[in-house]
Homo-oligomer: A and B are copies of this chain.
Amino acid sequence: MSLIVMKFGGTSVATVERIRVVAQHVKREVDAGHKVAVVVSAMSGVTNQLVAWVKEANELYDPREYDTVVASGEQVTSGLTAIALQKIGVKARSWQGWQIPIKTDAAHGSARMIDIPGNALLASMASGEVAVIAGFQGVEADGERIATLGRGGSDTSAVAIAAALKADLCDIYTDVDGVYTTDPRMVPKAKRMDKISYEEMLEMASLGAKVLQIRSVELAMVQGVRLRVRSSFVAPDQLKPFKLGEHSDVGTFVCDEDEIVEKHVVSGIAYAKDEAKVTLFGIEDKPGVAAAIFGPLAETNINVDMIVQNVSEDGKSTAMTFTVPAADLARSLDVVKAHKSKIGYRELKAATDVVKVSVIGIGMRSHAGVASSMFKALSSKGINIEAISTSEIKISVLISADYTELAVRTLHTLYGLDA
């Protein structure tokens, strides 16, 4: 008998009919003898409606009231899911954040959990009840105001609850059946991975493979919570119940790299289209210029990603290229222009027809030559690299958006990922 946490996102609980399917997935695990805590999101679309109402009432809303309004979405799903479980003979009760209590800090709207006492939940589960927990919400530790964790916070709730309950597994049910080596819509040969390390998943998620909330993966890594991503749209009887030590069921495990025996040099290829490129020409090649550019951007909370400074040819004048989220481009240009005299550039250019393509793999740590093979392969297809950034387990290049598909397919084949 194991203790598992099963998390179901908005599309998995979009209607009462879908909630019935969720109940069947839960029943499968209960019937196998497991203790189960379920974490649910709001029915898909509900949170957007609630947020729209709040903004209609006041664009500058009080975040404590925002939380009170928005947390109601998960409250509804938790009750309906408990009822659907009872309907098929599974004992269940719903839990709101304040009932557990999931204590958070006071940062309403994007609160962080600071403590989850597991005793009430464990006592309920020991009595044979499935605990159906409203995700995304908690209660401010120093008061009794409802707090929410920010959009997508239900994944993070699930991981934190799994840690508090010392669960054997945290299953994240969503509308895809796992994590793929790259976007299957772009590359039909993309394969579902059986396992991926936390570190790789973090790079995948932040690079656009939006299966799991980044925060939830970070928390799982820190707390050592084993995650599995799988689909709630598979018929409940087509999946086998969890069995400790068995890893070969449908879905992708996200776990410590020690658990991954066969370490691929490259595990996956990600791409991000929402990047914008800014280039400043004719800046002086002297100390303090970079600070003059990036200081004001940081103060404006603009997240600069890649930075490339060209080598100066004449020792005096050079060019600086950096990328920002496309949504922040206009603001970024305003900031740069406002500081023109301090920065001292001649010309400013910006482009949004760029894409960042990344290859990710923990095997890179012990394997040289990944970057050079990547550059060579792209070059052989006539793809020009505009910027490069690297981490221990990732290499990213900025290229023209026209070549996205060609680049991703080329690299997917290059690193032996084609199914």
Q: State the A residues within 8 Å of B (CB).
A: 16, 19-20, 50, 53-54, 56-58, 60-62, 64-69, 71-73, 75-76, 78-80, 82-84, 86-87, 93-94, 96, 98-99, 144-146
Once the chains bind, are A57 and B83 in contact (CB under 8 Å)? yes
Once the chains bind, are A19 and B69 in contact (CB under 8 Å)? no
- Which B residues touch A144, using CB under 8 A? 98-99
A94 to chain B, nearest CB (A): 5
Once the chains bind, are A75 and B84 in contact (CB under 8 Å)? no
Enumerate the 4 nearest inter-chain pairs by beta-carbon distance, A residue then B residue, closest first: A69-B79, A68-B79, A72-B72, A58-B87
**A83 and B61 in contact, given A53-B16, A72-B72 (Cβ under 8 angstroms):** yes
C-alpha gap A64/B78 in the complex (Å) = 12
**A94 and B75 in contact, given A57-B84, A58-B86 (Cβ under 8 angstroms):** no
- For chain A, what secondary structure do more than half of its interface residues adopt (helix, strand, loop), or is it mixed? helix
C-alpha gap A99/B64 in the complex (Å) = 14
- Which B residues touch A64, using CB under 8 A? 93
Once the chains bind, are B57 and A87 in contact (CB under 8 Å)? yes
Once the chains bind, are A82 and B62 in contact (CB under 8 Å)? yes
Q: Which of A50, A67, A83 has the most CB of B within 10 A?
A: A83
Once the chains bind, are A94 and B82 in contact (CB under 8 Å)? no
Once the chains bind, are A79 and B99 in contact (CB under 8 Å)? no
Once the chains bind, are A78 and B68 in contact (CB under 8 Å)? yes
C-alpha gap A58/B84 in the complex (Å) = 6
New A-B pairs, 15, CB < 8 Å, besides A66-B83, A68-B82, A68-B96: A20-B57, A54-B79, A54-B83, A57-B83, A57-B87, A60-B87, A61-B83, A65-B79, A65-B94, A66-B79, A68-B79, A68-B94, A69-B75, A69-B79, A72-B73
Of the residues B20, B53, B61, contact of A76 by C-beta under 8 Å: B53
C-alpha gap A312/B410 in the complex (Å) = 102
C-alpha gap A60/B89 in the complex (Å) = 12
Once the chains bind, are B53 and A82 in contact (CB under 8 Å)? no
Complex A-B: 19 CB contacts under 8 Å: A16-B53, A16-B56, A19-B57, A53-B80, A57-B84, A58-B84, A62-B82, A65-B79, A66-B79, A66-B83, A68-B94, A68-B96, A69-B79, A69-B83, A72-B73, A96-B146, A98-B144, A99-B144, A99-B145
- Which B residues touch A62, using CB under 8 A? 82-83, 86, 93
Once the chains bind, are B93 and A80 in contact (CB under 8 Å)? no
C-alpha gap A99/B144 in the complex (Å) = 7
A85 to chain B, nearest CB (A): 9
Of the residues B16, B72, B83, B86, contact of A75 by C-beta under 8 Å: B72
Once the chains bind, are B53 and A65 in contact (CB under 8 Å)? no
